[in-house]
């Protein structure tokens, strides 16, 4: 029952996407293999995915720190790709291949319980991604995985990257809601602590295998309002 808890009054749910709703690691490994294997490359595809993801925070930090203007995540993904692939012995890849690889982030698969749980949650709450992914990337993931968003919010709408407060505030503002009536749902404590500092409610989903077997957050390392082993458990606890 939500009515008698601090969660009473929550009207919108904002979702982290990479890792929380979609399994970027095995999807990127699959896409890289699909694109590069026919070109004669044999790599550790999971290590390729991990190396790309390792460039993720430093890439966004360029924007957050104001060293470069806001750029869509697609642009950062491409920069980051070109930065790490020499370590895999990949040089001189043609531009269309680099472009296709970059768009692999538009072809990620949701964790299995996500589409049905989101549809349940939509009956009771406004739902939107509040991701660092750009709008077109979010739209492609939504179409691929049947994610029934009310709107696409997040970094591109805010013009900056999480965990900058402006990204959370912009999401609340788009729905005309005070932060206390919004809940951030993520598999990453760093995201939730930043959202909580902005006044949002928080829910943590365990994704213990996000970065490989046993390599992900089993539980939050910060105080949160709600925890779930999956989005279905979050939906259950929110009475949806």
CB-CB neighbours of 70 under 10 Å: 14
Site for a copy of itself in 1-60 (CB under 8 A): none
Q: What are phi and psi of 36, to 5 degrees?
A: -95, -30
d(CA 46, CA 28): 8
Report the nearest approach of a copy of itself to the CB of residue 51 (Å): 25
Choice between 112 and 148, CB closer to a copy of itself? 148
Site for a copy of itself in 127-146 (CB under 8 A): 134-136, 138-139, 142-143
Report the nearest approach of a copy of itself to the CB of residue 9 (Å): 17
Among 97, 100, 175, 227, binds a copy of itself (CB under 8 A): 175
Q: What is the DSSP letter of 182?
A: E
Which is nearest to 230 in space by CA: 90, 118, 128? Answer: 118
Choice between 133 and 220, CB closer to a copy of itself? 133
Choice between 4 and 176, CB closer to a copy of itself? 176
Q: Taking each helix axis as running N to C, give the angle between helix 95-102 and helix 24-36, from 0 to 180 degrees, rounded to the nearest 10.
A: 160
Among 54, 100, 150, 233, binds a copy of itself (CB under 8 A): 150
Report the nearest approach of a copy of itself to the CB of residue 136 (Å): 5
CA distances from 17 to 91, 122, 206 (A): 31, 16, 13
Do you find a cis peptide bond into 45, omega within 30 degrees of 0? no
Choice between 88 and 149, CB closer to a copy of itself? 149
d(CA 94, CA 236): 48
How big is the CA angle at 29 (ends 111 and 233), to the nearest 5 degrees? Answer: 15
Residue with tokens 């925070």: 57
> Alpha-carbon Rg of the chain, whole angstroms?
18
* 98 forms part of the interface with a copy of itself (CB under 8 A): no
Among 2, 46, 97, 151, binds a copy of itself (CB under 8 A): 151
Choices 1-9, 15-23, 84-92, 147-155 (CB under 8 A): range interacting with a copy of itself = 147-155
d(CA 75, CA 142): 20
Among 49, 108, 126, 226, binds a copy of itself (CB under 8 A): 126
Choices 53-61, 77-85, 174-182, 197-205 (CB under 8 A): range interacting with a copy of itself = 174-182
Q: Using CB under 8 A as the criterion, which residues of the chain lie in contact with a copy of itself when the complex forms?
A: 74, 126, 134-136, 138-139, 142-143, 149-153, 156-157, 174-176
């Amino acid at each position: 029952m939500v009515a008698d808890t601090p969660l009473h009054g929550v009207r919108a749910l904002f979702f982290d996407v990479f890792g929380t709703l979609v399994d970027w690691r095995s999807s990127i490994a699959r896409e890289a293999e699909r694109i590069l294997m026919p070109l004669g490359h044999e790599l550790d595809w999971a290590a390729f995915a991990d190396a790309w993801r390792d460039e993720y925070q430093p890439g966004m930090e360029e924007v957050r720190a104001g060293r470069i203007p806001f750029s869509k995540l697609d642009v950062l993904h491409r920069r980051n790709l070109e930065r790490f692939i020499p370590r895999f012995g990949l040089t001189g890849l043609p531009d269309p291949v680099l472009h296709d690889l970059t768009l692999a982030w538009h072809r990620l698969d949701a964790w299995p319980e996500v589409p049905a749980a989101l549809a349940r949650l939509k009956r009771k709450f406004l739902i939107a991604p509040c991701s660092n992914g750009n709008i077109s990337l979010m739209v492609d993931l939504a179409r691929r995985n049947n994610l029934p968003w009310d709107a696409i919010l997040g970094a591109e709408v805010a013009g900056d990257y999480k965990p900058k407060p402006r990204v959370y505030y912009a999401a609340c503002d788009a729905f005309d809601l005070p932060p206390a009536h919004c809940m951030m749902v993520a598999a990453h404590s760093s995201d939730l602590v930043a959202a909580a500092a902005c006044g949002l409610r928080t829910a943590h989903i365990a994704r213990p295998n996000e970065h490989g077997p046993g390599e992900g957050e089993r539980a939050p390392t910060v105080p949160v309002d709600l925890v779930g082993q999956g989005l279905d458990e979050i939906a259950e606890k929110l009475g949806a």
